[in-house]
Structure formats: C-alpha cells, structure tokens
C-alpha cells in the first residue's frame, strides 16, 4: 500500500499509543468505506476507570506472594516451567470492569448484553477518547484490492478488508458520535516501517486483550451461512446429546434441511486456516463476536455449539452432511481441522485467558502452528508470541531480517532458558525444511501428529473423558532424569547445544514401520536377536507390556494401573470386537469400524515379534477373549490410548531387555547407534532424530546407572 502524506507519525511507546479508525457516515452513502485515522493513548483513562485499576492493583498486591508461591510449586510438580498465568490478563480486567459498571442485581446479565451488542454504552468507556474494538480477519490476496478513503485520501486495501469495513460501517456502531473506534492491523500499523511492525507485533497480546470487543470477520454471507450460525446457536443450548443424536438419526431434517452443509462450508472458510487468528481470538475470549455477513454469534455460543457436535454428534455428522448434499454429490468431507481447532485449542485457550491457568506448552504451540497458514515462515513463531509465557516472549524480539532457521533455534533456546529444562528438544529432528539445528523444532515440519501426545485430550466418549479446562488436567510428566538439573551451553552463533548426559541402552528390535497413514511395511520389522526381559518373569513382563502399549499414561495424563491390563484382551480385529461391543451395548466402540485399523495392523503384522528367550512372541501375551465383567470405560480407554501411542511410532526392544517406542522414521541401520534421546553418531556431533519411550526408565530409574558406574557421564554436542 502506498504511503500517504502525514498519515503516520511515530507512536509513543511510553504513552502506549495506537492508531484507531472511525467510520464516517459517507461510507453508507457512497458504498466505499470512509474513515479517519487518529492516534490515541491506552493510558488516557477516565477517572472512573483509573480508580477501578487502582483498586485492582491493591487487591493483586495483597495476593501476589501467594500466587508466586503457587506458580513455583506448580512449575516444579509439572516439570514444564509454564507460567501459571495467575495474574489478571487485560481481558479479565476488562470483564471485571464491565461488571462493576452495572448495578449488582443486573451484573449477571452482562454476558447476555454482550450477545446483542458489540459496542459499549458510554458509562463503560475506559478512556477519555471513548473505547475501541479490534478486527480479526483474513487479509486475502494482495492483488485483489478495493478502495477506502482515510483522512480524505483514497487508499487501496485488500478486498476482504474493504468488505469488513463496509459491513461495520453499515451497522453504525463505529459512528463518530459513539466515540467507539476500530483497530485494524493493515491500516493502523505502518506496514512500510519494519521497525514499527516488529514493535507492534509484540503488542498484539495487549491490543486484542484490551479491546472492548474482538470482531471475528469470516467474510461476506454466502449460501446458508446464516443458517450455519443459527445451527451453532441451537446446538449450544442442547443438553442431552444421546437424545439429539437419536432424533437426528430418525429425522435428519429435525434441525433444518441444508444447515449441516452450510456449517461445513462455514468451517471451510480461509479464516480458520490463518495462524494470526489464534492469539486474536484467544485474547478476545468472551468478548469475541463471530460475524459472517450480517449474521453474528457470541464466541461462547459458537464454541459450545462446536463442542456439542464434537462430543455428541461425531458419528452421525457424516450422514447428515451426505443427506444435505444429495446422493450424487461427492464433495469434501467435514472440515474436521477447523472443528478441532475451535474445540481443542481456541475454546480452552480463551477460557485460560479469561480465568487464568497454564500457558500452552511448547509442543502444543507447534501443533497449532502446524495446523495454520501464514505468508512468512517466521510468523509461525511471531504469530503466536501472544500465547507464550511472558518469560519466553520477552526473550524473542521479532526480526524479519533473521533467517528462518535462526528464528526457530532462538525460540527453542528461549523456552529452554525460561523454563530451565530440555523439554523442547523432544520436538527436534533433522527432517524439517528450514535447516534449523536438529535440537530445535522446525515449525515448518508437517510430520507431527498432535493426537499422538500423551498430554493431550484423550479421544473417546465425553462421559468417560471430559474435556480438560484450563487448570483441570492431572497430567503426570515423564522425568527420565529424575530431579537432576541439566548442564547446558549454546555456541556463540546459537546453532549448537551442548549438554551432559549418558548412553542408557541401544535398540535391538523394531516393529513394522508405517507407510503413510493406513499401511505398514512388514519387511521393515527388525527382530531382536536375543531378548531377555529386564522386568522379570512372564507375568511381570506382561504388566510391563500393557503399560508400554499405552506409554503408561491414560485419561487425564495419569499413570496406568491394573485395570488397564484390559488392552491385553482387546479383540484383535474389529469383526471380532463388534460382536462383543454390540452385545454389551458399548455404542462408541461399536462405531469404531473406520478407526480400528491401527490396532488390527499392529496385532497382525507383529504377532510373531520375539519377546523372550523361552520362544515367546508378542501374540503370546494377549488373551483370546474378553472377561464377562469387562468395563466399557477400561476398554474404551486402552483402545484410545493405544491409538495415540502408535501414531508415528514403532514398538521397540532394547539390548538390556526393555520395551518401548521409537520414532516412526528410525531405520534399522540407525538402531545400532541409537542411545538415550535417539542420538545418531556423526563426527564430533550428534543429531536428534526424535524422542523415545522406554518402559521402566521414565521416572529417573536410569540415574541409578551413574551411581553404580554402569554408565558414564559425558558431554554431547547437538547440531
């Protein structure tokens, strides 16, 4: 966009200044958005709001020491170093302010008022100049532009932004008389000034977090988009999923004909694949309004509607979509990526922003970045800085002149130094396209599967596996090094990481390697030449096996226990299992025909995998039938746990008699050189090819080898 005379002057960081748009009445008269761009300070508070902030500050000071103590305790117990987030966010403070401006008997109605208005009454204005909203949208193709008039000068902006401004102007909510203004990144940031862009990028958390409302613009109305918004609002208020599912199976048009196709199309819009929306919507939290054309719905209702679909209508959704399309239509299936994005990430992270709780882990941020798109590879990191703990964000200075690989290495280092542990190197490997060091996660690598993480929500019936809230997870992290602190250093250019460690064991056997998502190569099986169980006799080895098959972590991230031995009698094929599941009225497992393939393939291809000197093989450790008193919870849990465990992993045995899991892309030739952390020897340096799980060595047991001189401490340098 060409720079216009006098449109931009330098913003004062000391005064927390920002530029804001006011939409003029001429917009509706001409059809072209007319705006004024002016500069305002986020410190220019009204006397009432200043008094409110002072009271909030005093209240926080009184509880600060207690909050810090809780944060330290939680960091140590979880081992992830995440900031606790107990300090009030700007979003939480804004919500408290709005409630304080209502009479006590009306305060509980505040959420209802938000659903029907995107602008504040004057008594709720926080600033002497009024208040503001922030727009969340997709820029669109830079070649597809439209005119807008700013401060009397015509400029070209992307067509999607022009349409969003026109829609906002049509409502009259940003009229000058209302003193309610709009922040739009493409215009309110001087895009020609790289320094300003970098400085404003660091403020995204505060800009969206402090906005009175965040308007999520999905685009213009299209066929059925209004019906899709209505459907989500309806789903949000339903209480009993089983009854609605049964009703829809009997009468597919119960909620309207065509609404499921409309919802599918709504979730296919480019908005949901844009990485920048993550921090924009999360910082907006309960103050976000989703808008498509003239139809709108508050964020809480939108998330509740998607949650109902995920938890109660997942097995019937495809039939409903197919019916709306007609028998001859062979269009795409449901856009599950965007549904999962709302259900697994946006909804829960918004709740965390509002109520406090753990920041997303390094691995979760990678998963979010992998599922989203951005034009600049550096924005995979920079676009999520607002979701990172402040101790990490402060170490990252956005710089678009740096090579992508340098940005990714600096990000891994920031997490390592801020949290005081080496968790981030679990995500490293040499396969990414950016050329980042193997110890630094490549944010462009598409080989990760978020559903394979033991710390993530377990897939299954919501009555068994309720979704985790911002502080409700009981996840017990692995602690292979016990309480030992790491000793690390980085090279001057940040490309090498050196740390102390020791070789624990080496791989002796590997199960079949995956070929794509649905197939495995039986020729890739590496049989152990000799394997003597480190766990003891047959019964003790059997216990170790069931723990290995679920990586000793089950629902909620808790450790496995005796009831999870159920996996050893889980039917080896769906044909066998369906009979049992239906006889016992286990509807969820009975509906897994399309998903049972991973368990079937593992059992079939690795049945003769050798486990023991007495001639035992893997199949010998399984039971032929389920017990009569089998529990639906237990079998649903172990089935789902194995499904995530085996994603992108290969079952392995070690020379010292252990079982575990190795990365799927480990090859037989690598196995002889594989040690703790899956190190492949190179002249003077090591490459990290992925993480390994070894049953019996994940809670500090291996540290005993140092004290008994079985292993030697040495310095490893990773490149």
The string of DSSP letters for 297-315 reads: EEHHHHHHHHHHHHHHSTT
**For residues 3 and 97, what is the distance between their CA atoms, to the nearest angstrom?**
38
Say whether pLDDT at 51 is over 80: yes
Number of H helices, E strands in the chain: 27, 20
What pLDDT was estimated at residue 90? Answer: 79
User: Each residue of 57-106: pLDDT tens digit?
Assistant: 877 666 555 545 444 444 433 334 444 444 457 788 888 888 787 776 66
CA 149 and chain centroid, separation = 38
Closest to 698 measured CA to CA, from 75, 79, 72, 82: 79
| Residue 675 tokens, joined | 């040690």
The whole-number average pLDDT for the span 150-160 is 94
What pLDDT was estimated at residue 673? Answer: 38
DSSP state of 215: E
Closest to 272 measured CA to CA, from 177, 344, 203, 201: 344
What burial class does residue 352 get, using C-beta atoms within 10 Å of its C-beta: 0-12 exposed, 13-18 middle, 19+ buried? Answer: buried
**For residues 637 and 516, what is the distance between their CA atoms, to the nearest angstrom?**
25
Q: Are 302 and 232 in contact (CB under 8 A)?
A: yes
What pLDDT was estimated at residue 360? Answer: 87
Say whether pLDDT at 1 is over 90: no
Say whether pLDDT at 200 is over 80: yes
**For residues 217 and 293, what is the distance between their CA atoms, to the nearest angstrom?**
8
78 Cβ contact list (under 8 Å, min separation 6): 358, 475, 477
Q: Are 264 and 224 in contact (CB under 8 A)?
A: no
**Sign of the torsion angle spanned by Cα atoms 253, 257, 261, 263:** negative
Closest to 278 measured CA to CA, from 367, 212, 363, 161: 367
User: Each residue of 339-377: pLDDT tens digit?
Assistant: 999 998 899 899 888 877 678 889 999 999 998 999 899
pLDDT category at 471 given cuts 50, 70, 90 is: very low
**For residues 430 and 432, what is the distance between their CA atoms, to the nearest angstrom?**
6
Closest to 671 measured CA to CA, from 524, 502, 496: 524
What pLDDT was estimated at residue 5? Answer: 58
User: Each residue of 310-327: pLDDT tens digit?
Assistant: 888 887 888 888 888 885
| Residue 356 tokens, joined | 């406090």
Say whether pLDDT at 108 is over 90: no
Q: Pick the residue with more confidence: 61 or 713? A: 713
**For residues 458 and 556, what is the distance between their CA atoms, to the nearest angstrom?**
7
3-state secondary structure of 286: helix
What pLDDT was estimated at residue 636? Answer: 98
Q: Torsion-angle region of residue 17: left (phi > 0), alpha (psi -120 to 50) or beta? A: beta
**For residues 146 and 33, what is the distance between their CA atoms, to the nearest angstrom?**
10
Say whether pLDDT at 9 is over 70: yes
Closest to 215 measured CA to CA, from 174, 178, 248: 174
Max Cα-Cα span within the chain: 87
What pLDDT was estimated at residue 61? Answer: 67
DSSP state of 621: G
Cα dihedral 696, 702, 708, 709, rounded to 10, equals 130
**For residues 319 and 252, what is the distance between their CA atoms, to the nearest angstrom?**
9
What pLDDT was estimated at residue 172? Answer: 80
Residue in the structure block whose two tokens are 């216009």 = 4
Query: Which region among 10-14, 371-375, 612-616 has the lowest average model confidence (pLDDT)?
Result: 612-616
What pLDDT was estimated at residue 73? Answer: 42
The whole-number average pLDDT for the span 497-518 is 89
What pLDDT was estimated at residue 111? Answer: 53
Say whether pLDDT at 525 is over 60: yes
**Residues facing 290 on adjacent strands:** 216, 297
What pLDDT was estimated at residue 76? Answer: 36
Percent of the chain with pLDDT over 90: 55
The whole-number average pLDDT for the span 142-171 is 93
Helix boundaries (H) for 102-258: 110-115, 159-171, 185-188, 194-201, 204-210, 225-237, 241-250
Percent helix, strand, coil in the chain, to 5, is 45, 15, 40
**Residues facing 183 on adjacent strands:** 134
Side-chain-side CA neighbours of residue 532 (13 Å): 1
Closest to 211 measured CA to CA, from 283, 291, 274: 283
**For residues 719 and 707, what is the distance between their CA atoms, to the nearest angstrom?**
29
1 Cβ contact list (under 8 Å, min separation 6): 155, 156, 157, 186, 191, 192
**Sign of the torsion angle spanned by Cα atoms 49, 54, 57, 58:** negative
**For residues 7 and 123, what is the distance between their CA atoms, to the nearest angstrom?**
31
pTM for this entry? 0.86
659 Cβ contact list (under 8 Å, min separation 6): 544, 545, 548, 611, 651, 652, 653, 694, 695
Query: Which region among 270-279, 349-358, 490-499, 696-705 has the lowest average model confidence (pLDDT)?
Result: 349-358
Q: Are 482 and 699 in contact (CB under 8 A)?
A: yes
521 Cβ contact list (under 8 Å, min separation 6): 512, 513, 514, 515
Q: Are 349 and 378 in contact (CB under 8 A)?
A: no
| Residue 606 tokens, joined | 């690795």
Beta strands in 287-412 (DSSP E): 288-292, 295-298
For 661, phi then psi, to 5°, come to: -135, 140
Beta sheet of 649-654, edge-to-edge order:
507-510, 649-654, 659-663, 693-694
What pLDDT was estimated at residue 88? Answer: 57
Cα dihedral 346, 349, 354, 358, rounded to 10, equals 180
For 609, phi then psi, to 5°, come to: -65, 125
Say whether pLDDT at 683 is over 70: no
């Amino acid at each position: 966009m060409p720079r216009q005379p006098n449109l931009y002057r330098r913003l004062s960081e000391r005064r927390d200044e920002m530029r804001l748009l006011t939409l003029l009445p001429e917009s509706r008269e001409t059809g072209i958005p007319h705006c004024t761009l002016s500069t305002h300070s986020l410190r220019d508070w009204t006397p009432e709001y200043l008094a409110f902030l002072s009271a909030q500050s005093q209240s926080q000071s009184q509880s600060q020491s207690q909050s810090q103590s809780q944060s330290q305790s939680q960091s140590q117990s979880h081992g992830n170093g995440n900031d606790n987030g107990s300090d009030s966010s700007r979003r939480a403070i804004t919500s408290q302010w709005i409630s304080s401006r209502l009479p006590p008997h009306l305060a509980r109605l505040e959420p209802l008022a938000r659903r029907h208005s995107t602008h504040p009454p004057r008594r709720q204005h926080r600033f002497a100049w009024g208040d503001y909203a922030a727009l969340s949208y997709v820029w669109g193709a830079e070649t597809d532009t439209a005119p807008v008039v700013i401060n009397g000068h015509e400029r070209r902006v992307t067509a999607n932004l022009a349409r969003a401004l026109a829609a906002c102007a049509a409502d009259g909510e940003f009229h000058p008389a209302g003193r309610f203004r709009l922040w739009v990144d493409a215009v309110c940031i001087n895009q020609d000034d790289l320094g300003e862009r970098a400085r404003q990028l660091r403020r995204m958390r505060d800009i969206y977090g402090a906005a009175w409302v965040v308007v999520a613009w999905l685009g213009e109305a299209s066929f059925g988009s209004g019906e899709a918004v209505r459907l989500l609002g309806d789903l949000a208020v339903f209480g009993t999923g089983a009854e609605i599912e049964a009703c829809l199976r009997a009468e597919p048009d119960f909620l309207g004909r065509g609404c499921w196709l409309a919802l599918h199309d709504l979730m296919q819009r480019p908005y949901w694949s844009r990485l920048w929306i993550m921090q924009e919507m999360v910082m907006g939290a309960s103050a976000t309004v989703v808008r498509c054309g003239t139809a709108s719905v508050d964020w809480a209702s939108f998330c509740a509607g998607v949650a109902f679909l995920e938890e109660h209508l997942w097995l019937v959704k495809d039939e409903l979509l197919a019916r709306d399309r007609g028998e001859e239509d062979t269009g795409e299936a449901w856009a599950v990526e965007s549904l999962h994005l709302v259900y697994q990430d946006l909804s829960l992270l918004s709740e965390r922003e509002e109520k406090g709780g753990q920041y997303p882990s390094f691995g979760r941020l990678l998963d979010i970045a992998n599922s989203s798109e951005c034009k600049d590879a550096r924005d995979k990191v920079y676009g999520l800085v607002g979701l990172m703990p402040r101790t990490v964000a402060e170490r990252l200075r956005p710089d678009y002149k740096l090579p992508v690989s340098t940005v990714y290495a600096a990000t891994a280092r920031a997490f390592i130094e801020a949290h005081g542990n080496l968790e981030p190197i679990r995500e490293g490997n040499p396969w990414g396209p950016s050329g980042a060091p193997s110890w630094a996660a490549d944010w462009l690598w598409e080989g990760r599967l978020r559903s394979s993480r033991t710390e993530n929500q377990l897939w299954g019936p919501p009555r068994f596996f309720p979704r985790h809230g911002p502080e409700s997870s009981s996840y017990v992290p692995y602690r292979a090094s016990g309480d030992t602190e790491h000793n690390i250093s980085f090279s001057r250019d940040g490309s090498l990481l050196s740390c102390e460690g020791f070789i624990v064991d080496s791989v002796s056997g590997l199960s079949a390697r995956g070929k794509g998502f649905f197939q495995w190569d039986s020729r890739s099986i590496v049989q152990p030449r000799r394997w003597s169980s480190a766990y003891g006799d047959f019964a003790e080895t059997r216990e170790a096996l069931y723990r290995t098959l679920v990586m000793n972590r089950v629902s909620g991230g808790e450790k496995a226990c005796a009831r999870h031995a159920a996996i050893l009698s889980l039917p080896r094929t769906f044909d066998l299992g369906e009979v049992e599941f239906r006889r016992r009225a286990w509807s969820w497992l009975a509906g897994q025909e399309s998903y049972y393939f991973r368990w079937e393939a593992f059992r079939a291809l690795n049945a003769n995998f050798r486990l023991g000197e007495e001639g035992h093989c893997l199949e010998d450790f399984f039971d032929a039938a389920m017990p009569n008193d089998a529990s639906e919870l237990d079998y649903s849990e172990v089935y789902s746990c194995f499904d995530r465990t085996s994603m992108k992993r290969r079952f392995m045995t070690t020379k010292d008699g252990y079982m575990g899991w190795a990365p799927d892309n480990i090859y037989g030739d690598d196995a002889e050189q594989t040690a703790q952390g899956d190190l492949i020897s190179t002249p003077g340096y090591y490459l990290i090819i992925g993480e390994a799980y070894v049953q019996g060595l994940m809670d500090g047991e291996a540290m005993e080898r140092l004290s008994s001189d079985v292993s030697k401490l040495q310095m490893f340098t990773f490149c």
